Chains A and B, each alone.
Chain A
Amino acid sequence: MAEAYIYDAVRTPRGKGKTSGSLHEITALSLATQVLEQIRDRNGLDTSKVDDVILGCVAPVGEQGSDIARVAALNANYAENVAGVQIDRFCASGLEAVNMAAAKVRSGEADMAIGGGVESMSRVPMGSNGGAWPMDPSIALKSYFTPQGIGADVIATKWGLSRADVDAYAVESQKRAAQAWKEGRFKKSITPVKDQLGLPILDHDEHMRPDTTMQSLAALEPSFKMQGEQMPGFDAVALQRYPEIEEVNHVHHAGNSSGIVDGAAAVLIGTKELGDAMGLKPRARFVGGASIGSEPSIMLTGPEFVTKKLLNRLKMTNKDIDLWELNEAFAAVVLRWISAIGLDPEKVNVNGGAIAMGHPLGATGAMILGTMVDELERSDKERALITLCVGAGMGTATVIERV
């Protein structure tokens, strides 16, 4: 089997995912196009050598619909022979795109591929694409469908995480993200987004609130209490799957959950041979990837199981991993994972995460993989494991190694 190497990773800054956000006036196509242009230009890429562009996107309707990957490759003036495919593994789509690109390279189906993702949540709101799971009684009832926020609160309740625990985690995320920006730790990956005139419109993650404190978070109302306890009453559904819970403790709110943002990312992956021939220098080796299904009602415990599955498959233990990155969908998801795997919190999400910087659904996986490529280099570490919790009860993970 061929080795797959990561040659480069770029991402846009994340704009607030609302009409007042800086990127709301930039199309999703443009976001995807700009990261494809950037990864081409800074590597002097002959795009005709790229076999496929795989982009994650979770609401592929409207301007994000009908295979935005192929359309973005065309819009970025990639060679006509470059194929494109849009994929959806909910929140892990961006990482899954990287894993698929690597799998194509390792299997010999491709010599070079781009994995990444795009999501303009301000322009194509989450849930725009419908879906049978919550709607069709055939599956909603038997799988105890509850929205992900309820699942996060169930995790907190089941494993005894208090409001103070999750808020403290959120404060730390903000602190780490602010520190990382201050020290320019994202510099290598960030490509400012340009407007229709080619002028920069956003050059930093605008969702961050570095001045967040326990006190400021304490003022926030829980986000999922209403839909849990009253209309339509999802807590009662969760309790049918988790009867050990007397009452769901609604601890999550806007300040300790991932932010809704716009953004895009791309990761260039290829064989050693082609990279050499093209004069590219690999930055990391793709060691392995995996996905797994987990209990769908609680939804967000997949990272624990996919982490174990992948390490097992790679014959590795916790000691083989230097840096751990789990998307901060909700604070309780990270805290539960840390305790389930037995991790040192100091090695987890060292540069903050989606609570501070936001979670552009389809792109996040590729973004945080890029963050780890940068961080391995900066901190002179060997290996990182990147994972995300996934809708409908799944987890996706990847291990990379610096070269």
Chain B
Amino acid sequence: MNNFKIDIDADGIAVITFDAPGKSMNTITAEVIKEVGEIAGMLKTDAALKGAVLISGKESGFCAGADLNSLFSGEIDARTDAGRKAAFDEVSALNRALRSLETNGKPVAIALEGLALGGGLEIALACHYRVAADNPKVKFGLPESKIGLLPGGGGTQRLPRLIGAQPALMMMLLGENKSPADGKMLGFIDELAAPGKTIDAAKAWLKGKTKVVARWDEKGFKIPGGGPYTPSGAMVFIGANAMLAKQTYGNYPQQTNILKAVYEGLQVPMDAALRIEARYFANTLMGPAAKGMMRTLFVSLQELGKGANRPPNVSKYEVKKAAVLGAGMMGAGIAYVQALAGIETVLLDVSQQGADKGKAHAKDILDKQVSRGRMDKAKAESVLALITASADYSLIKGADIVIEAVFEKMELKAEVTKKAEAHLADTAVFGSNTSTLPISDLAKASARPENFIGVHFFSPVDRMGLVEIILGKETSQEALAKAIDYVLKIKKTPIVVNDSRGFYTSRVFSTYIGEGMVMLAEGVKPAIIENVGRMTGMPRAPLEMSDDVALDLAFKVKNETKKALGGAYEDSKADAILEAMVEKLGRYGRKNGKGFYDYPGDGSKKKLWPGLAELAPVTVDECPPALRDEYKKRLLYIQALETARCFDEGVITAPRDADVGSILAWGFAPYTGGVISMMDLMGLPAFVAECDSLAAKYGDRFKPNALLRDMARKGETFYGRYGAQQKKAA
């Protein structure tokens, strides 16, 4: 065996060490599955063996789950019986191996010194006894649903039989990790042992045991908390259906399939239950959500996190000191994430008072971490100590990078650029955190435009994982490499785009809230716009999002865009709405307590402003499912169409960056795999046809551009056409 080492001790107990060759972390491959089956066979047939203890040969833990780069990556032909049968057979392999281990007749215990996630935990669940090191840093969980999959190694069946349907569903649907102590309390860990002592404890349990069957294979086994058709179990499933609908709007097939597998599986014996799980697993794999989510949220996210866009011939740039210009919300947030990454940070503002306020904001975030037990006090203090708040630009001296985060005013930005560069080394990078102003225009104020680059953060900086890096006309590859190194150091994911009004993220996102306002202008009842917006899987509804962004700001941006574009500006029905809200009604959004919503200010829920009915008389006041689905498409497709325009104009060139950016920056419906995957996975011919029909009904902005039509005609996909370029860059 390649992955397992077997030592038989004097008592006849096989100590089986999982140690996948050439890897720092054990993962489950086809070979691992095969060898688990062989271990089961060996235990069954070798009379000299009394039982087995499974352990890990890795410092990193027991096993992090399936190797998604090798397993389940094949194409499934869901249209034919043979294709679906083949998928079922493929995904059943792990279940069959683990079931044969579980039913081999001799006791198998597992000693967990480190993490067991996904398939790793499922191996543990198929053992008869689980001992875990009592170490709060160790994580156990079934996080498959986060990347579009369901636990397909028996997890949907064994976990609820061990701990009850409700906690098992919570763990699987939320993908939450648990500590060994939590695992013991919940019941999927049988015993806690001191770190380093788990093997001894497992062996002690094995002693004297000859024949063992899993507890669910014993006669009279009862599911903790009851199966579906018991009084307590019924409440669980009725509630779970409602809560799942509430939280996912039915958009995530893997979530629904987890619930189905648990509901159906708990009503039958284990062998049938595992077949049911395998069918739902195969069903999940066949859908676009699994493909899109696995690619974007697993593969691409990992690639970008390793600096896939980084020009390779530039040596690694170590950012030790960084300055932040402007100590508002954004600047303070940036200072915080820098300090958290161990970077000495100078936080500058026009006055000492302003700078102090920014540092206080960083302190607030740290205090919250401490009060929630996520950070100890000493660590928080050392992080805060890395931030120097000041009005003295000379402190910039020695900084490896400057991030400018002052108000969105060209003149102001030009002024601080000059002021900062006066103290800056020639090799240092100047990054502007603008969200709207073209980088090449801002770079005009710079003496070294090749070092000038856009570094666009998202609010709140401490929670948003993406940074959009924008290349100006003169930005050098070296500056790009340095900026990426900086972003990776502060543990964010960088995507790279080219200069344009609104760049990629703001430009595409604005079409979503814009379409919401157009619907309002058309007479669609505001509640319909908002409810349907939420149902698309976007994190917020269009009108509430507009209020959050602020209507006066949107109005200002619109006017500037109009001025800049001149005759090329396309009038929108939303313009009049925006103008009336801002100019006539003084309704600026959440910030002044009145926008599309009224904000009572007494803590009670915001409500849609009834006056909207006068501003835009309602003509559509009912929304049956067919219309609802059409509106959902409007709100999502308008964003995809704008993304296609960005590709056409070269604003963004990599589908991977577009997908990851869309989900991480503005929460584009994650079940699609991102704005590009949505189009690719439904097929461009279908997408173009649907957009044409939307254009006929709702206006020319839904007309697909020439690029989309060309690709649809040729049967291309974005990943096919642009993916090669993307690989080269990586």
Contacts and interface: CB of A to CB of B under 8 A. Distances in A.
B607 to A, nearest CB: 7
A236 B241 CA distance: 12
B535 A243 contact: yes
Nearest to B261: A137
Interface string A205-234: 000000000000000000000000001111
A181 interface: no
Interface residues of A, number: 27
Interface in B228-248: 228-229, 234, 237-246
A382 B623 CA distance: 41
A279 to B, nearest CB: 50
19 contacts: A137-B256, A137-B259, A138-B260, A140-B238, A140-B241, A140-B245, A141-B241, A144-B245, A145-B241, A231-B239, A232-B243, A232-B246, A234-B242, A243-B531, A243-B532, A244-B527, A244-B621, A244-B623, A247-B607
A367 to B, nearest CB: 29
A8 B532 CA distance: 53
Given A135-B237, A240-B245, 9 more contacts: A135-B238, A135-B241, A135-B263, A137-B263, A140-B242, A141-B245, A141-B256, A236-B242, A241-B625
Nearest to B623: A243
Interface string A319-336: 000000000000000000
Nearest to A235: B246
Interface in A311-369: none
A234 B264 CA distance: 23
Contact of B246 (A142, A145, A236): A236
Interface in B219-273: 228-229, 234, 237-246, 249-250, 256, 259-260, 263-264
B260 A243 contact: no
B250 A142 contact: yes
Contacts of A239: 531
A138 B239 CA distance: 14
Nearest to B533: A243
A246 B244 CA distance: 20
A135 B234 contact: yes
> Which of A137, A140, A241 is packed against the most chain B CB atoms within 10 Å?
A137
A232 B249 CA distance: 14
A198 interface: no
A155 to B, nearest CB: 14
A144 B249 CA distance: 10
Nearest to B229: A130
Nearest to A234: B242
Nearest to A134: B238
B528 interface: yes
A245 B527 contact: yes
A246 B242 contact: no
Contact of B623 (A137, A237, A242): A242
B607 A237 contact: no
A136 interface: yes
Scoring A240, A242, A245 by chain B CB atoms within 10 A of each residue's CB, the highest score goes to A240
A395 to B, nearest CB: 19
Contact of B250 (A141, A146, A231): A141
A137 B229 contact: no
Contacts of B605: 247
A243 B243 contact: no
A237 B527 contact: no
Interface string B155-176: 0000000000000000000000
A233 B238 contact: no
B622 interface: yes
A3 B311 CA distance: 90
B525 interface: yes
B628 interface: yes
B239 A232 contact: yes
A399 B527 CA distance: 40
Interface residues of B, number: 36
B260 A232 contact: no
Interface string B520-564: 000001111011100100000000000000000000000000000
B608 interface: yes
A240 B535 contact: yes
Contacts of A146: 242
Contacts of B238: 134-135, 140, 232
Per CB-CB distance, the 4 closest pairs between chain A and chain B, nearest first, are A243-B531, A236-B246, A232-B239, A246-B527
B244 A244 contact: no
Interface in A51-109: none
B632 to A, nearest CB: 10
A185 to B, nearest CB: 41
Interface in A224-283: 231-234, 236-237, 239-247
A245 B528 CA distance: 7
Contacts of B525: 244
B223 to A, nearest CB: 15
Interface in B613-637: 621-623, 625, 628
Contacts of A140: 238, 241-242, 245
A7 to B, nearest CB: 42
A119 B410 CA distance: 77
A129 to B, nearest CB: 10
A77 B119 CA distance: 64
B263 A244 contact: no
Contacts of A231: 239
A233 B528 contact: no
Interface string A122-154: 000000001000111110111011100000000
Contacts of A137: 237, 240-241, 244, 256, 259-260, 263
A6 B727 CA distance: 81
A232 B244 CA distance: 10
Contact of A240 (B237, B249, B263, B264): B249
Given A136-B263, A246-B530, A246-B608, A130 B234 contact: yes
Interface string B101-122: 0000000000000000000000
A233 B527 contact: no
Query: Most B CB atoms within 10 A — which of A130, A141, A237?
Result: A141
B617 to A, nearest CB: 15
B527 A141 contact: no
Contacts of B242: 140, 145-146, 232-234, 236-237
B560 to A, nearest CB: 33
Nearest to A241: B625
A394 to B, nearest CB: 19
Contacts of B250: 141-142, 240
Nearest to B237: A135
A140 B239 CA distance: 11
A134 B241 contact: yes
B243 A141 contact: no
Given A141-B256, A243-B623, A246-B530, A237 B263 contact: no
Pick from B241, B244, B621, B628 the residue with the most CB of A within 10 Å: B241
A239 B239 CA distance: 17
Nearest to A135: B237
A239 B526 CA distance: 13
Contacts of A242: 623
Nearest to A136: B263
Contact of A244 (B249, B535, B622, B625): B622
A243 B527 contact: yes
A247 B607 CA distance: 9
Contacts of B263: 135-137
Contacts of B249: 240
Contacts of B228: 135
B258 to A, nearest CB: 9
Q: Give the interface centre of B250, B259, B531 by most chain A CB atoms within 10 Å.
A: B531
Contacts of B531: 239-240, 243-246
A142 B259 CA distance: 13
Nearest to B230: A130
A236 B245 contact: yes
A230 B256 CA distance: 21
A374 B250 CA distance: 50
A141 B244 contact: yes
